[in-house]
Amino acid sequence: MSGRGGDVGNGQSDDDHELRVTKIRNGTVIDHVSGGLALTVLGVLGIDGSAGEVVSVGMNVPSDRLGRKDVLKIEKRELTQNEVDVLSLIAPEATINIVREYEVAGKHRVDRPEEVSGVLSCPNPDCITAGNEPVASTFDVLDEGVRCVYCETILGTDQADLIDHVDIG
Ligand code: CTP
Ligand code: ZN
């Protein structure tokens, strides 16, 4: 048997039986990402392995809740608020687990914020945020997408379009 503590008992979940990617010691597990979206999530987080990050990805893993899901395990790294904000837009079902010394020390769903600042670039070339002015892009988060507070350009009725404009400073 593994060296896990006595807290597993009879409550062993399907995830334990279906564990495909090893547990991590310290870092962040982004769970319940829609199946097939893991590489997009890594892309918007700017994680490509070039900095030596230790990252494990499970794609299209069976999930009770979602049917299939992607799971990302990023070692020795916690997410910034801006990164969480972007995740809330592209992976609203995601759960973020902070792991410390093998234990889940924090677990939260991503919250769709009312506005996001400094994480998306406005597609309008005439927008004040597109010039050299020191103005951080800010978008109101609406049901139908996100809207630039300066020029009212709407972005994100198309998910790919939104992803294209992610720009985490
Ligand atoms: N995990 C990990 N390394 C650890 C602890 C947890 O990679 N040392 C992963 C688990 O594999 C799981 C996620 O972090 O993908 C959340 O762990 P846990 O809360 O133990 O799992 P569940 O209870 O199944 O989570 P949920 O209720 O959110 O589905
Ligand atoms: Zn704008």
Closest listed residue to residue 23, CA positions, set 47, 60, 50, 58 = 58
The 10 Å Cβ neighbour count of residue 145 is: 18
pLDDT band at 42 (very low <50, low <70, confident <90, very high): very high
14-109 and 115-164 in the same fold = no
Q: Which helix (H) or strand (E) holds 128?
A: none
**104-156 tens-digit pLDDT:** 999 999 989 999 999 999 999 999 999 888 889 999 999 889 999 999 999 97
Distance in Å, CA 115 to ligand 2 centroid: 14
Residue ranges near ligand 2 (ion) with Cβ within 5 Å: 122, 124, 127, 148, 150-151, 153
Every domain of the chain and the residues it spans: 14-109, 115-164
CA-CA distance, 166 to 31, in Å (whole number)? 21
Amino acid identity for residue 92 in this structure = P
Tell which one of 103, 104, 108, 110 to mutate to probe ligand 1, the residue whose CB is within 8 A of the most ligand atoms: 104
Fold topology of 115-164: SH3 type barrels. (2.30.30)
Classify 14-109 by CATH class: alpha beta
Closest ligand to C-alpha of residue 96 is: 1
pLDDT tens digits for range 95-106: 999 999 999 999
